[in-house]
Structure 1
Amino acid sequence: MIDTHAHVYASEFDHDRDQVIQRAIEQGIEHILLPNIDLDSIAPMLATEAAYPDLCRSMMGLHPCYVNADVKQTLEQIEYWFTQREFIAVGEIGIDLYWDKTYQAEQEMALITQLNWAKSLNLPVVIHTRDSIDQTLALLKQEQNGQLRGVFHCFGGTVEQAKAINDLGFHLGLGGVSTFKNGGMDKVIPALDLNYLVLETDCPYLAPVPHRGKRNEPAYTRLVAERIAELRGLSTEYVDQFTTNNAKALFKL
């Protein structure tokens, strides 16, 4: 089992990270993929990867919520890291129209810039699309040259949006929202193409039921797999194997 999206380097884990990692291992988690957020998250992310090198793998990118008027300079500093070492993906990148639309144009520019990095580096991308799935899809259709691949992380959209994402060659990251009774995903998940699904937590956020509202952690990836299995009439082991194989192929793990 692979948690394809975990901020386990966040300060919320500073007091018990070893125990969190141990619980993940006990639940069968083989890899934990770490998306970067901004310039300040790089050091703790890389330190966490160095502390658990067999388990954790880092991405590099600029999260849309941290895009501002200085975005060009920030992107230059983020891009520099790709000359220093290897990363498994460009992420987390995207468009977020939930909190603030002030810098929407800058967010779109940052996304296109980072998609171009992914093309030149032949890396997958991990995309954040809060209140922006359709806008992001439109932009990706323009940019897709057959090289772009990756994950729409924390997917909470419709069956139609899922198909459009898959048609572009992209996967869907399913996490805690899949377990929420009022999330609407119980109607969507049975119709999704298993070949394009990967598991994630987005910890410390969006803990699945029965931990909703509490701190999330990679061990809870299993709860997401169990919910998908329940909704599809499959075994958890089958969902685990399928999504693990998808993640390994996409991220070359």
Structure 2
Amino acid sequence: MTVSAAPAALAARADAQRNRALVLAAAQRAFAERGLAVSLAEVARRAGVGAGTVYRHFPTKSELLEAVMQQRVDRLARLAAARAGAHDPGAAFFEFCADVVSSTPRNQALCEMVQSDDGWPRALMRGAGVRFHRALEALLLAAQRQGAVRSDIVLADVLDVFTGCVAIQRNKPAGSELARAAAILLDALRATPGGSGVTKLRAAPDYRDETGSRNETSTAPGCPICGAELDSPGTGRPRRYCSAACRQKAHRSRAAARVMG
């Protein structure tokens, strides 16, 4: 009796695990598309199981949502942990951040959950959150050791940046590339090549025509306005003028020329 019952018990357990996985996969898609308005009956239909199967594993929608979110956060934690050992941890860190930001707004349930005051996060989510924070912090530290991320950045800063970026990304259509403003926020985490901890964003377009017909970026030693010798900046763009006053004079001259023309 005991011998014959063992295979049956194992088969029943395997069926239960398979059904639970089907329910979770269907719930993930449904919550991502429609948010918290999805019913358990709709989840059961999508999973291809009876409503009783869903209720047996998850008596309430809140429990199902928590399990779905725990599964998602644990997946992110595994991705972060895997990238911590990458050959280029800096690139891995920023790729991971971009993935988190671009994928989160597609999950309406997650956005609604974190904005609610219904006792979240619960125990299951707290455990997944701890694992995610540990993995993200390890990836952050690896990127900082490489000199790719500002040395003064801590985990809380990254999470705050995520919050801002996700809020920005929600204004973009689902499946869109990372919003430019969100990319700028993520760039604020970058260190300079020298590792000074000062953010170096990509240079904004310069709409002023400071080149004109003159070759002001040439190797000529003098300021084009007063003729004073230009000091070499060492790094970065060559200086065009010897002072802010000369720069302003050049700007006024160009403005006057445009008016006269």
More helix by share: 2
More strand by share: 1
- Please, what TM-score do these two structures have when normalized by structure 1? 0.26
- Please, what TM-score do these two structures have when normalized by structure 2? 0.25
